[in-house]
């Protein structure tokens, strides 16, 4: 997870991408087979994963952690405003 006051990067993706991504943690910190996408509400998804070394037999031994948040692009193809967690700032 980002540290308090750390700037968060918003990735717009390519022209055909349907979602914008705000990375909350480096994907290298997670087991590559553990990533899951959870629908939070309409147009918003959360990508979660299990920390490296804690994913065995298809089960996370310590619980999943958020890796990134996805928001659906607007009709114009632009990224909506992300509201980062309190104490953190958004990067354009």
- Specify if 65 maps to a domain: yes
Check residue 77 and report its DSSP letter. S
What local confidence, expressed as pLDDT, does residue 91 receive?
A: 46
In this prediction, residue 33 carries a pLDDT of 95
Bridge partners of residue 23, in order along the sequence: 68
- Give a yes or no: residue 37 inside a domain: yes
List pLDDT tens digits, range 25-39.
Answer: 999 999 999 999 999
What are the angstrom distances between the C-alpha of 36 and each of 5, 22, 60? 27, 16, 11
Q: Which residues form the domain of 64?
A: 7-74
For the chain, percent of residues with pLDDT exceeding 90: 48
Determine, yes or no, domain membership for 91. no
What is the reported pTM?
Answer: 0.74
The verdict on residue 79 lying in a domain is no
Q: How many CA atoms lie within 13 A of 89 on its CB side?
A: 5
d(CA 70, CA 61): 25
Task: Quote the number of domains for the chain.
Answer: 1
Count other C-beta atoms under 10 Å from residue 48's C-beta.
Answer: 20
Tell me, yes or no, whether 84 lies in a domain. Answer: no
């Amino acid at each position: 997870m980002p540290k308090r006051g750390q700037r968060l990067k918003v990735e717009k993706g390519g022209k055909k991408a349907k979602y914008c991504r705000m990375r909350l943690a480096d994907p290298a910190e997670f087991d590559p087979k553990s990533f899951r996408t959870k629908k939070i509400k309409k147009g918003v998804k959360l990508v979660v994963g299990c920390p490296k070394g804690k994913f065995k037999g298809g089960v996370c031994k310590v619980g999943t952690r958020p890796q990134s948040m996805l928001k659906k692009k607007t009709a114009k193809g632009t990224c909506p405003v992300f509201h980062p967690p309190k104490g953190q700032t958004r990067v354009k």
